[in-house]
Structure 1
Amino acid sequence: MRLMLSDRERDGLAKRDEDNFFDRKSRRIQPAKLSRTLAAFGNTDGGELVVGIEDDGTWDGFASVEAANDLINVAATVVAPGYYEVDFLSHANESGVALLITVRRTPALCVSTTSDVYVRRGAASVLVRGEELESLKRVKGVVSFENQGLVFPVSEISNSEVSIEFCLSMVPTLEPERFLRKQGLINSEERPTVAGALLFHDEPQIHIPKAGVKIYRYKTDGVAERKYLDAVPETIEGSLYSQIFATVARTVEIVDAIPIMTGAGMKQIHYPPEALHEILTNAVLHRDYGINDDVHVRIFDNRVEVESPGRLPAHVTPKNILNERFARNGTIVRLINRFPNPPNMDVGEGLNTAFEAMAALRLQQPEITESADRVLVIIRHEPLASPAQMIMEYVREHGSIDNSIARRVTGIEQERTIRRYFEELVSSKELVRTGVARGTRYRLPETLRD
């Protein structure tokens, strides 16, 4: 696409600071060097690259669109189709065209034209190797730590209580070792895999340290400081199946004991149990077990924070997480779903269930953020605006509202309940009724209109 820039837009690109999401290159840049920046954007969080504006902000564009073909071909080589866009930028007072390449975070690993891997750190594209490269491959889903072999006797998982009980529950019943081999949980070198240990070892933390959950109770609605800790943090270990249910039960037990002051006196705090269950299950099943750390559950007076090791995998981001699917630990997710009363019963729909449960209680939606090697989910005990407030906000923005729109805006399905809110707003002279029957709408009184 060809875009004609205004003075403000041109100056914005010329003066914008280069950072994690933006870079500026001369049109004389070598294709190999350009490929580093494109690969770094694709491997990290995406970004924008302008070619044809010098570091000092001077416009020095390509003589024609065709003159940029070599660089466009580099983008097509480095970044998967659908994860980059190319635009040509012009300005009435500048000669030539600049090239804007927009890159999104990619599900696959992006490799430069020299077969190297880069990530973006601040304004630099940094070469990664060794363990850092392996970590990036796990984030991208190229490899999974769950498939790594561990050095301990196969009998520790084939003769464990977990595997025996699991195999007895299957139809038809299988011998544990035969089942484990069939599922690839014992590799060709006769070593149990990480997935096999986490699922079927009675105490997998013996071989995979920091593969548990730590629970903290802070008697504050502020920051997590030691002085607010209520007793020593608890550690929950064991196989993933038992770990999930024990974590959920203990978290609910602690939350249920938190009193809050209301207009009607002291009351217990309440989160939807299905929201806690799904978010905690998600943290345990989808974390990166290659990172030597536990899942951390911090319980405050006004919120619960669940922090799991590892970034969101592949192309999943905090913005698209409810619509996109990618299992970092595919074997773990698949096999734990075969346990009796599986914790991930609705595979792929866990977080959606959590969001819906919070909305049903009219609580704020969970917040999901991502850092360099962590995912944090915050479940706040803070109510949404009241239905009356939401109705009024809609009318102020759109001019009027009817019953069906109000039900959609507030999330309340009962027509009678919404009608009651309208009656109260009309009685208090906040709204006026116009029309009759199915044509009834509600507007602001003349005195309240702008």
Structure 2
Amino acid sequence: MLAASFGGAGTSSMQTIAITGAQARQLLGQHEGHFLDFKAKEIAPAKLTRSISAFANAEGGDIYIGISENNGSFAWNGFNDAEDANPFIHTFEKLFPVGDEFLYEFLSCPEMQGLVLHVAAKKSVRIILASDGFPYLRRNAQKIKIDTDELKRRLELDKGIYSFEGETVDIDLELATESAVMRGFLSANIPNRSADDFLRMELLVRRGLPKVATVLLFTDLPQAALPDRSSVKLARYRTSGAAHRDALVGAAETIEGPLYDLIHSAVDKTKKLVEAHQVQGEVGLELAKYPHETLHEIITNSIIHRDYSLPDHVHIRVFDNRIEVESPGRLAGQVTVENILDTRAIRNGQINRLINKFPDPPNKDMGEGLNTAVEAMRGVRLKDPFFKEMENSFLVTIPHESLATAQEMILEYLTANDTITNKQARKLYPVPTQHRMRAIIQKMVEQNLLEPVEGTQRGGTKYRKP
């Protein structure tokens, strides 16, 4: 690809990316959806700000301007030059300035007419307004206007701008100040304080009423006050397919208690349920080998970071070939399925911070939980957990599937790369020492699966397929 800067007002810092005819046809062959939109250059720039707002307020997406639709197919019909796109650029930059969240560039193709303006919007941590003063939200191929207080509050909750943990609950404050969990917590924290002093200091009370965070953390049975959103449902399904009633083994168990106890109890009960049943392996039913760290970190995250404004519980489903952990609420802030291992956003700040003050806190490695879960799976040669954002929930699936062998991973790597080194192979398939990997590679050489590349010994021998 070639890149060149464009001059002119509004386009001086923009680039054009030259693509091939095959790449242009591949782009035009895509379908519009939750992450993609095509727009003709004749559209009013102000109207298009609604689409950019909708993408930024959801999971992000791409808009290509200069692509027209005719009878369900798309055609390249770009701007004559960069100057023709200035009305769009001027309108967009006022509302969506170039930076971490928005990118603008032109696409050119020698086989196509004119320039296509590509707008890339990332998921924003804040609410993004269109030119009419309203935010919009992308859902599939539609954009929803957020024009009521109820819809705006729902968007704030989804993005983690506002947390339900700060709402008050109409119960007696003594249920928190005189609870067993509060006594144990205060005795373990120095300096020791009275329950009333602690709650006032931590801003856990408003107008004499405890907040949701207070009830969840410091009452002995939060489910009495918040019965529709504070339990964990644990179920076993005798199937490798979808969850359905006929495959349910017994009744689903309801797990209750303050959050600290709830997390530990949910992890322990899930492990016992898994160990009491076999799972589907490569050669039939076998004992499950899910790492404790994986179950602990994923269940902890599902309880601490869920959206407590939604009237639903955390659901843990144990299948013959996997475990599913589904927590109410979409991913907060700028977190997406793609960047979840590298990006942090905290929906329930008070819960997250205060539960870390309990003895042996469940979130002791704050910010590293999911990475720990993934590494633990790799440590026992199981495939990584995978993540999916649902309409109103977040689903983590922990598969009971073995990773490929070292030989298979090396050969797969070489389908996309010319050579591989011992160090690169150890990143794909961690082993205790480089000598262990050297033995694996040497055996592959003897089997005529690999050959060393001449002249590469000094900086680390490179290997390739014969």
TM over 0.5: yes
Aligned counterpart, 2:340: 321
Give the C-alpha shift of residue 161 in structure 1. Answer: 1.4
Instruction: Indicate yes or no: 2:99 matched with 1:85.
Output: no
What is the DSSP-based 3-state SS (H/G/I as helix, E as strand, rest coil) of the residue aligned with 2:127? coil
Aligned counterpart, 1:65: 82
C-alpha distance 9-364 of structure 1, shift in aligned 2 (>3 A) = closer
What pairs with 1:257-336 in structure 2 (closer than 5 Å)? 257-259=276-278, 267-336=286-355
C-alpha distance 91-411 of structure 1, shift in aligned 2 (>3 A) = closer
What is the DSSP-based 3-state SS (H/G/I as helix, E as strand, rest coil) of the residue aligned with 2:119? strand
C-alpha distance 197-267 of structure 1, shift in aligned 2 (>3 A) = same
Report the residue type matching 2:341 in the other structure. L
What is the DSSP-based 3-state SS (H/G/I as helix, E as strand, rest coil) of the residue aligned with 1:375? strand
Give the C-alpha shift of residue 279 in structure 1. Answer: 0.6
| 1:135-191 deviation digits (Å, cap 9, x = unpaired) | 21112122111111221222221221111211111111011111111111112x222
Instruction: Indicate yes or no: 2:67 matched with 1:49.
Output: no
| 1:115-152 deviation digits (Å, cap 9, x = unpaired) | 21211133332112343322211121221111112212
Give the TM-score normalised by structure 1. 0.89
8 Å CA contact 1:318–1:370 kept in 2: the answer is: yes
C-alpha distance 436-417 of structure 1, shift in aligned 2 (>3 A) = farther
C-alpha distance 28-400 of structure 1, shift in aligned 2 (>3 A) = closer
Give the C-alpha shift of residue 433 in structure 1. Answer: 7.0
8 Å CA contact 1:260–1:267 kept in 2: the answer is: yes
Structure 1 CA distance, aligned partners of 2:319 and 2:257? Answer: 25
What is the DSSP-based 3-state SS (H/G/I as helix, E as strand, rest coil) of the residue aligned with 2:209? coil
Instruction: Indicate yes or no: 2:249 matched with 1:235.
Output: no
Of 105, 122, 126, the residue aligned with 1:104 is 122
Structure 2 CA distance, aligned partners of 1:24 and 1:297? Answer: 39
What pairs with 1:188-203 in structure 2 (closer than 5 Å)? 189-203=207-221
Of 5, 14, 17, the residue aligned with 1:3 is 17
Structure 2 CA distance, aligned partners of 1:153 and 1:100? Answer: 56
- Could you tell which deviates more after superposition, 248-257 or 15-24? 15-24
Structure 1 CA distance, aligned partners of 2:422 and 2:432? Answer: 10
Give the C-alpha shift of residue 413 in structure 1. Answer: 2.4
8 Å CA contact 2:21–2:111 kept in 1: the answer is: no
Report the residue type matching 2:127 in the other structure. L
What pairs with 1:317-356 in structure 2 (closer than 5 Å)? 317-356=336-375
Report the residue type matching 1:151 in the other structure. D
Give the C-alpha shift of residue 259 in structure 1. Answer: 2.8
C-alpha distance 320-442 of structure 1, shift in aligned 2 (>3 A) = closer
Aligned counterpart, 2:50: 36
Give the C-alpha shift of residue 255 in structure 1. Answer: 1.3
8 Å CA contact 2:267–2:299 kept in 1: the answer is: yes
Of 231, 243, 250, the residue aligned with 1:224 is 243
Give the C-alpha shift of residue 60 in structure 1. Answer: 5.6
Report the residue type matching 1:369 in the other structure. K
Aligned counterpart, 2:134: 116
C-alpha distance 398-17 of structure 1, shift in aligned 2 (>3 A) = closer
Aligned counterpart, 1:380: 399
8 Å CA contact 1:20–1:123 kept in 2: the answer is: yes
8 Å CA contact 1:53–1:61 kept in 2: the answer is: yes
8 Å CA contact 2:61–2:120 kept in 1: the answer is: yes
Of 391, 414, 434, the residue aligned with 1:415 is 434
C-alpha distance 233-414 of structure 1, shift in aligned 2 (>3 A) = same
| 1:206-264 deviation digits (Å, cap 9, x = unpaired) | 22222111000112222212112111000111111010000000011111222358899
Give the C-alpha shift of residue 363 in structure 1. Answer: 0.8
C-alpha distance 329-384 of structure 1, shift in aligned 2 (>3 A) = same
C-alpha distance 173-46 of structure 1, shift in aligned 2 (>3 A) = same
Structure 1 residue ranges without an equivalent (≥5): none
Structure 2 CA distance, aligned partners of 1:367 and 1:111? Answer: 32
What is the DSSP-based 3-state SS (H/G/I as helix, E as strand, rest coil) of the residue aligned with 1:198? helix
Structure 2 CA distance, aligned partners of 1:422 and 1:65? Answer: 53
What is the DSSP-based 3-state SS (H/G/I as helix, E as strand, rest coil) of the residue aligned with 1:177? helix
8 Å CA contact 2:421–2:463 kept in 1: the answer is: no
Aligned counterpart, 2:272: 253
Structure 2 residue ranges without an equivalent (≥5): 1-14
Identity %: 36
Report the residue type matching 1:228 in the other structure. A
- Could you tell which deviates more after superposition, 285-294 or 8-17? 8-17
Give the C-alpha shift of residue 278 in structure 1. Answer: 0.4
Report the residue type matching 1:69 in the other structure. N
Give the TM-score normalised by structure 2. 0.86
Report the residue type matching 1:332 in the other structure. I
Give the C-alpha shift of residue 371 in structure 1. Answer: 1.6
Report the residue type matching 1:304 in the other structure. I
CA RMSD of aligned residues (A): 3.0
8 Å CA contact 1:20–1:120 kept in 2: the answer is: yes
8 Å CA contact 1:42–1:79 kept in 2: the answer is: no
Give the C-alpha shift of residue 68 in structure 1. Answer: 2.9
Aligned counterpart, 2:161: 142
C-alpha distance 31-434 of structure 1, shift in aligned 2 (>3 A) = closer
C-alpha distance 361-29 of structure 1, shift in aligned 2 (>3 A) = same
Matched residue count: 445
Structure 2 CA distance, aligned partners of 1:377 and 1:386? Answer: 25
8 Å CA contact 1:108–1:141 kept in 2: the answer is: no
8 Å CA contact 2:305–2:347 kept in 1: the answer is: yes
Structure 1 CA distance, aligned partners of 2:112 and 2:414? Answer: 47
Structure 2 CA distance, aligned partners of 1:55 and 1:437? Answer: 53
Report the residue type matching 2:233 in the other structure. K
